[in-house]
Structure formats: structure tokens, C-alpha cells
């Protein structure tokens, strides 16, 4: 591991906002799509 510790990891060398902003929104998009698909499947089967 190339990081000095967790705080260094979250800081991303000063680019934390950009890196985690990208990953957080991507994760949120995929999670929302999965939830919507599960709901649609449930409703279609009902």
C-alpha cells in the first residue's frame, strides 16, 4: 500500500473532492438503478 494512513487515503493528495465526488456519484447512480430495477420487477410480477 502506498498510503501513509487512512487520512492520507481520503485526502487523495488534495484531490479528494474530485476523486470521491466521482466515485460517490457513480456508486449512487448504480445503486439507484438497481433499486429501481428491483421495484419494477416486483411491480411487474405482482
Partner 1 sequence: MSTAIKWFWFASPQTFFPLAGTIARACWIGAALLAAAGLYVGFFAAPTDAQQGEAYRIIFIHVPAAWMSMFLYVVMAFWAAIGLAFNTRLSSMMASAVAPTGALFTFIALWTGALWGRPTWGAYWVWDARLTSELILLFLYLGFMALQAAIDDPRRADRAGAVLAIVGVVNVPIIYYSVQWWNTLHQGASVSLTRAPSMASTMLTGMLLMALAFWLYGIAASLARVRCIILERE
Q: Is 33 exposed, middle or buried (0-12, 13-18, 19+ CB in 10 A)?
A: exposed
Q: Does 21 bind partner 1 (CB under 8 A)?
A: yes
CB atoms within 10 A of CB 11: 16
- Please give the Cα distance from 37 to 46 (Å, whole number): 14
Position among 5, 6, 26, 31 found at the interface with partner 1 (CB under 8 A) = 26
Q: Does 34 bind partner 1 (CB under 8 A)?
A: yes
Judged by CB under 8 A, how many residues of this single chain contact partner 1?
Answer: 25
- Name the site residues for partner 1 (rule: CB under 8 A): 1-3, 9, 12-15, 17-19, 21-23, 25-26, 29-30, 33-34, 37, 40-41, 44-45
Amino acid at each position: 500500500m502506498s498510503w501513509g494512513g487512512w487520512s492520507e487515503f481520503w485526502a487523495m493528495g488534495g484531490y479528494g473532492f474530485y476523486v470521491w465526488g466521482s466515485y460517490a456519484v457513480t456508486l449512487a447512480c448504480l445503486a439507484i438503478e438497481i433499486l429501481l430495477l428491483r421495484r419494477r420487477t416486483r411491480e411487474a410480477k405482482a
